[in-house]
Chain A
């Protein structure tokens, strides 16, 4: 029997799922870009997300900056971090084997995580701003304001990035590079420079993702693996076909998480999501390497 209470609970879960799904899309975009376009499995992606969260914390504590503004500040900061990472590390190992790149990036993960623990300790942090506990209520359905803001920022980024890749000549060049790197080079495209741009953009989305996550979840230097798993899940389910598929996969995972959390005890939610990862890998049958060939 579906009572009004459980119906509103369901609607609540759906809304929360969509909002969360947008955030999951945002934190997966960078992974999808670097894997799809450059063939780089960036396992350090989640530490960049974590750094984004600490950027928001520092800016709030030192300068009193609202995380919404920090999300904007994160763009140039993380773009630069990405460009440096690409120039100093990835471009040197990218032409060798993919395993070498994987190991190098795992090293980056360890270094960033270690540095973060030294700087910020392993204490759990929360961002508290004026609207942290605010919510909009409509017909008994409450929408947490931070989640709404996080989702709006995420959606804006998804739309921007999708438009950039589809409609600008630079975006088309990036897609061309993803589809046939040699053909792009002989068409006059400097693929090395474009790789810098791609990695910079991917890292910028990770940074904003971190800021946005900090608005809605507590964080510490070591809990980022969860976001790495979530991001890989979104990439595996959505494939590297397009930003839009990443969005669909992100929304799906957000919905599954919130809906299953009203149907099952909390501890089963992770189990269900990881089960989904197994199923997705089995159904797609090619894993990450398979999705790579369907680059953008």
Chain B
């Protein structure tokens, strides 16, 4: 069942449509977040979201609906003007991004984000920055990543900037996984990649899901994202629009995408 945000009283801790109580003390959530880059222009207007523990939550919406801004707020790259961000019930709104890995969070940003003039191995080491005082744990984490993504081991001496877009995406994923995060925010994972690579990226996200990690996925690739989703939110004009379990969305995808084309 899918419901419209207008049917639901604002705030969270409310019963979810399938009768289960949405437990706001677990997972990553934002409550009543209002945000914008300029004073006269709100990008997000009283938005509430919850990424349920161990589930894939997908955030959809047309261009400019505020999806990426929501991720930036959830990761502390942008401060909301009002509202809160909570991780497992603890308020983390003001925790700066560099301290979020230690909380078990990670962000896979949109577009290229490798350090191009560092080698693949150095990129991974930066991902293990939190372990810098513990050489042994750092090298253990590195070995674990090489075991998980054997290709990275092959490329470890190459400059990250010399790799193809798809290869760089793998480096970015490997770098993020160095800290073995529980809660992963992913922003437009397939933008600018060849279709064959895109499939691999979604396979990787599926693996993260199998590993019971909490995932919040922002995506323009609606079909692929919904296929992975447990729960879906849509934003429109910076406000909560629809939300519901995957099943409720699968039938309506066509209509949803069409309605967004007018934006």
Contacts and interface: CB of A to CB of B under 8 A. Distances in A.
Nearest to A295: B117
A186 B99 CA distance: 8
Nearest to B185: A186
Interface residues of B, number: 28
B98 A188 contact: yes
Interface in B98-113: 98-102, 106-107, 109, 113
B122 interface: yes
A184 B126 contact: yes
B125 A188 contact: no
B115 interface: yes
B98 A189 contact: yes
Given A172-B125, A173-B129, A187 B175 contact: yes
Nearest to B75: A186
A1 interface: no
A77 B260 CA distance: 60
Interface in B65-121: 75, 77, 96-102, 106-107, 109, 113-118
B107 A296 contact: no
Interface string A165-198: 0000100110110011011111111110000000
B98 A180 contact: no
A183 B102 contact: no
Nearest to A184: B126
B179 interface: yes
A172 B101 contact: no
B132 interface: yes
B109 A169 contact: no
Interface in B123-143: 123, 125-127, 129-130, 132
Given A169-B132, A172-B125, A172-B126, A188 B102 contact: yes
B242 to A, nearest CB: 29
Interface in A185-235: 185-191
A180 B99 CA distance: 17
Contacts of B122: 172, 176
A185 B99 CA distance: 9
A186 B106 contact: yes
Interface of A: 169, 172-173, 175-176, 179-180, 182-191, 296
9 smallest A-B Cβ distances: which pairs?
A183-B113, A188-B101, A188-B129, A176-B115, A179-B115, A185-B97, A190-B98, A186-B107, A176-B126
13 contacts: A169-B125, A169-B132, A172-B122, A172-B125, A173-B126, A179-B115, A179-B116, A180-B115, A182-B113, A183-B109, A185-B98, A186-B97, A190-B98
Interface of B: 75, 77, 96-102, 106-107, 109, 113-118, 122-123, 125-127, 129-130, 132, 175, 179
